[in-house]
Structure formats: C-alpha cells, structure tokens
Amino acid sequence: VLGIPKSIGAIYGLLFASPEPLCFAQIVSRLGISKGSVSQGLAFLRQSGAVKLVALPDDRREFFEPELGLRRLAS
C-alpha cells in the first residue's frame, strides 16, 4: 500500500511482536530472508525512525526494537 517492500513490513512486524530486542542474525534467522534484505530494511526503518538501536549489557552486537510512539512514526 505504501510502496515499500514486504520484507520491511516483515522486519517491523517481527520486532513489534518480539518481547525483547533482536539482533541482525536473529532477524535473518527468524524471517528466512537474505542478509541484504534485512540490512536494507533495517537501514530504511532506522532512517524513518520506526526502529531504534538498543545496547544490551555484556553484548557487543547491535539490537533493534520498534519505535512505538505514534507521533514519531507519523512524522
């Protein structure tokens, strides 16, 4: 509907439904889509403010969680 790839919606949906932040490898594994699609999808979602980075203690990987504020998403 919005002209974005289905993979972007799948990434956001997975992060939205997940009770904890997910790292890149977890997203690739759970969705079964290519690393390139996940990388581009996360870049788009981060740039649009729909996803934010989260730092977890004692873990060097980047974790992602959805931005839940409607005002942020609408802008």
Cα 55 → chain centroid? 14
Could you read off the pLDDT tens digit of each residue along the chain, which spans 75 residues? 567 889 999 999 999 999 999 999 999 999 999 999 999 999 999 998 999 999 999 999 999 999 987 555 555
Q: Distance between CA 73 and CA 6 in Å, rounded?
A: 18
DSSP symbol at 32:
T
pTM of the model: 0.86
Both tokens of 58, joined, read 């004692």
